[in-house]
Structure 1
Amino acid sequence: MSDTTVDPKQYIIKSEPYYESVGDEVALYEAAYNARMPVMLKGPTGCGKSRFVEYMAHKLGKPLITVACNEDMTASDLVGRFLLDKDGTKWQDGPLTTAARIGAICYLDEVVEARQDTTVVIHPLTDHRRTLPLDKRGELIEAHPDFQLVISYNPGYQSLMKDLKQSTKQRFGGMDFDYPLEETETAIVSKESGVDSETAGKLVQIAHRARNLKGHGLDEGISTRLLVYAGQLIGKGVEPIAACKMTMVTPLTDDPDMRDTLDAAVQTFFG
């Protein structure tokens, strides 16, 4: 066992995250969780994947441990390592190990950012074995009955160098996510930022124009998250054009022509 006792309650989401359902994704996920099926969420940046996982963890009453994956993440960052202290060495569980021990949902956000040799450690947890070998400790963890693994990634960033192996993909059930329909997204932006529906609707219209430019000068469209940021600034008294420039233009691109195009879209609705 680990040298530290972890209280699962610290990973429980106490207040319900706001999430607007757009289809049958809630029922599908519940069924997948009941089968303890590993789940892969695929969709563009800022479309609500992480919020959905938080919402479902709260709805199911399960602890949630989230890991933001990056290219420097090692297998030890996920499973754990020995640490030196005044008494010598002690083992420190990583987030994946902690989740497997306590029966949490472990969410690996943007897993494609992690090196492939790192993601291989999840394989034994995502098939009939449901085990996690800790080679450095000589321990084999049997995953808690409530444990589930969820990963997300953005297919728009796929490349030969950055994609999941088929041997990894085929261990998961998959759910596609996209930006919500206009009416739903307007309601989300209004609720999350506090601006009125008319202002939220204008922000969504700008986003739709920008998303049409994806692949034609923009790598990514404007995310729902950025629309909420814009609404929050407007709610704080920032002039709408300045708020949109800060949240919906400057973060997206450095290309002068693309910025002019986005500025023009902002001017159309707030000029």
Structure 2
Amino acid sequence: MDPLHDWRITAEPRYQPQGDEVALFEAAWAARLPVMLKGPTGCGKSRFVEHMAWKLGRPLVTVACNEDMSAADLVGRFLLEPGGTRWQDGPLTLAARHGGICYLDEVVEARQDTVVVIHALTDHRRQLPLDKKGELLRAHPDFQLVISYNPGYQSLVKDLKPSTRQRFCAFDFDYPAAAQEAAVLVAETGVAAPLAAQLIEVAHAARRLKGHGLAEGISTRLLVNAGTLIQRGVAPAAAARMAMVQPITDDADIRESLEHAIDALLT
């Protein structure tokens, strides 16, 4: 039985390259170098990792990091059962033991004492000490670690230590250029190209407000949500309000500004 069967990607995840990131990731994979992805919410970081795992034929074990996540949540723990105790590998251990790509999404959300457990896996040692089990796990030759986070949410409290950062190769992601983003929107939802272009103009109006009342602009993910609603029969202006404006802000002035853009472009 394949221990990573459930994490194998059987259908190609659609991904629109923005540059040479596919070839660069393949080079990092060939050297089994750990990779860091940085970029705003909903710009395609997770889809890129899924696409690369599919392209490389490797299972992808994804962990959504949070502030309550402990080292045991990553590494594993003993479980109490009627017949005694049984060790259960955590997702990081599972990928390291059997040769998957482990993807720690929004890694800065995890406590720094939890993140430290990846250090021995991300240098020449490629080892994971399982202290509670008394095992020193040597990573499978096909194991790779990938992490991601949004630099826009960085703070002195939530940031990676230099000792962690310098173990990774890094990619900077951003929202695609307008033509590329329109192609993504058409491919993902089936909306007509002129309508896709209009939705993206609304998104650009919001992105220009980042740092001026908005923590984040309208993401590609939200554009896809709007296109999906339109394909379900929702009027474009209503879909844009529901999927693109209302989720990102409760500020009345910013909403009014974006409503004007919708009225000008979609009605």
TM-score by length of structure 1 reads: 0.97
Amino acid at match of 2:218: I
Moved more, 135-144 or 256-265: 256-265
- Structure 2 CA distance for aligned equivalents of residues 260 and 89 of structure 1: 59
**5+ residue gaps, structure 2:** none
What is the 5 A alignment of 1:109-124?
109-124=105-120
Aligned Cα root-mean-square deviation (Å): 0.9
Aligned match of 1:216:
212
Aligned match of 2:190:
194
SS of the residue aligned with 2:132?
Answer: coil
SS of the residue aligned with 1:152?
Answer: strand
- Structure 1 CA distance for aligned equivalents of residues 213 and 4 of structure 2: 46
Aligned match of 2:131:
135
Aligned match of 2:31:
35
Aligned match of 1:248:
244
- Structure 2 CA distance for aligned equivalents of residues 124 and 64 of structure 1: 20
What is the 5 A alignment of 1:100-179?
100-179=96-175
Structure 1 residues 123 and 147, CA gap change in structure 2 (3 angstroms): same
1:79 to 75, 83, 89: 75
- Structure 1 CA distance for aligned equivalents of residues 65 and 2 of structure 2: 22
Per the TM alignment, residue 185 of structure 1 is displaced from its structure 2 partner at its CA by: 0.1
2:253 aligned with 1:257: yes
- Residues 162-199 of structure 1 deviation map (CA, whole Å, 9 limit, x = unaligned): 11001100000000100001000001011101111111
Per the TM alignment, residue 96 of structure 1 is displaced from its structure 2 partner at its CA by: 0.1
Count of residue correspondences: 267
- Structure 1 CA distance for aligned equivalents of residues 88 and 138 of structure 2: 18
**5+ residue gaps, structure 1:** none
- Structure 1 CA distance for aligned equivalents of residues 104 and 2 of structure 2: 20
Amino acid at match of 1:241: A
- Structure 1 CA distance for aligned equivalents of residues 106 and 261 of structure 2: 30
Aligned match of 2:53:
57
- Residues 5-32 of structure 1 deviation map (CA, whole Å, 9 limit, x = unaligned): 7523332100000001110000000000
- Structure 1 CA distance for aligned equivalents of residues 53 and 198 of structure 2: 32
Aligned match of 2:19:
23
- Structure 2 CA distance for aligned equivalents of residues 265 and 217 of structure 1: 17
SS of the residue aligned with 2:77?
Answer: strand
- Structure 1 CA distance for aligned equivalents of residues 250 and 6 of structure 2: 41
2:91 aligned with 1:95: yes
Amino acid at match of 1:166: P
- Structure 2 CA distance for aligned equivalents of residues 34 and 140 of structure 1: 24
SS of the residue aligned with 1:122?
Answer: helix
- Residues 83-102 of structure 1 deviation map (CA, whole Å, 9 limit, x = unaligned): 11121211111000000001
Runs of 4+ in 1 over 4 A off after TM superposition: none
SS of the residue aligned with 2:170?
Answer: strand
Per the TM alignment, residue 244 of structure 1 is displaced from its structure 2 partner at its CA by: 0.8
- Residues 247-267 of structure 1 deviation map (CA, whole Å, 9 limit, x = unaligned): 111110111111111111111
Amino acid at match of 1:267: D
- Structure 2 CA distance for aligned equivalents of residues 199 and 18 of structure 1: 21
2:179 aligned with 1:180: no
- Structure 1 CA distance for aligned equivalents of residues 133 and 164 of structure 2: 25
Amino acid at match of 2:194: E
Per the TM alignment, residue 202 of structure 1 is displaced from its structure 2 partner at its CA by: 0.8
- Structure 2 CA distance for aligned equivalents of residues 80 and 201 of structure 1: 47
Amino acid at match of 2:128: L
